[in-house]
Structure 1
């Protein structure tokens, strides 16, 4: 059958629009700009752009590492892979600080007498964030050695730091003392302890002997700074007695104090112990001086 016209015939113009305004918008919310409404092609393009930005960021990190690593004095001997892993684990701010403070850190080490051949490895510098120690390192470099009297903060800091060192080689006991130790018992323990106290820390023994002559010690600025947290205790105080018992357990020689009534030791925190106080001091001197041993 012939088709019927359902609209305006082609040869008749459409009537003009009426003067009425467009109907107002409905009360519903405006359409949500949901990513699900984004056409798949456009969404794919956006994701590719985001991936490109991530690649650029990684490339920027790598370029920064390649610029910094050759500036480290031991880069020819260091593990570049380990340094790179440590570099990528840093935050952007930490990488910026590591770069900016590298020259100052190296200058401070040179002032402390650290040669380039003993500089800490690049990966260790990054992993331990050594540039954050720069304040303490620089302070030690700018503090010259000074003389300190016996039993003062600096003097005791030096003595304890030396007691924390490994035992020095000791001379053999006399045949009589060897027989006494071999026999066992309380006398054997006493002989063994006194032999170690006399010979295992010769530098401390020299300090004690000099103290009996009222002679002080020339002490490095880093050790003096580490001893600033020490406190002066009366020799009859419970704190000094606790330190004395610790010395006995460690076989450390106790200073010969003569008429002195006061001596300095690491401050004991409320509810803390002398062992904890010594460990805190040990950590302090390791922070200031450990670079040389770890290099």
Structure 2
């Protein structure tokens, strides 16, 4: 157990309570140099009370962010867990949390109903639970947003409430750091880039500039690629020179985006509209490590016979698939193919809505609620898999989620009905998708 590392992680801003809980539990296994972390996913899930999928997702995030280094893959003999080491330099870079100054009554009144979160939403009654809390007192005591879709939700009302919530938030060093960490992996060179220089450039921007830099990252990368550039500038250069401002202005629309609540009608319609696009994320090609891994499995396939006992779970799955390149590409597309969907899901984990195109609302109005974990919900999951799409991530899914309506008067299995519903919705929004493919991102 490393008390020093645990203390550093307790003071660090890791983005969520789940991430901090898992990081501290990992530190319990590490020595003073951050080495020797070995517990299985099942054990971490049991001891942190997180789902195994949550544990796997957070571990993957820690590896991607450089906080953890994989020393050996698990899944070999006796079901051993993957062995990790902490990157001590990465831990040292974590920004320590800063205590908020004690609030005076006058200051608290200026900041809303409580000074720490500066949430100015009014308390609610138990009959109309619209506050930022699971308690009848509304936003007091708790800051976890309730996502309880009503039978007939008002998208306009939800959008207005979300917009007020977004605009009323006061930026803090912690929120700026979280937004930087959210944006950083979208840059193709972030793994080998200077994170410190990029973080400093990010912090020097205004809130509006950070928002614009994040929103137009994809536009800049596409423009650079279309211009024949073989290399992309560093994150810091993009931010310092505000290169997104050199891009052509987006076409104006008569109506701006609407903030839609997670898993509601407009939110789900926007999600499907993005999934209808071909995968467009960065880094979808295989990197040198993945190519070597695929070559290793290809050689095993050519040799045939009983595979070695020390293969990792991923290697065994590639071997069973019979085409390691296709397997790795499919995995990358699921994880990276639709950055906007990933961003929507990331915000949904924090109970935040997403800016959605209002022109999709007429088609989304017909959406129907589906019970989570029911047979129809399983059919929607299966159809996502058939199309190679990522499904809704586990964690904070509400009991009821909106999906395109199933066709009436058709006697068929759920799988066929779901497929028909998606094809019909795709046809309905064809004009919207065509406008988006021409580069009108305000229609997206």
What band does the TM-score fall into relative to the shorter chain? 0.3 to 0.5
TM-score, structure 1 length as denominator? 0.47
TM-score scaled to structure 2, two decimals?
A: 0.32
Structure number with bigger Rg = 1
Higher relative contact order (CA 8 A, sep 6+): 1
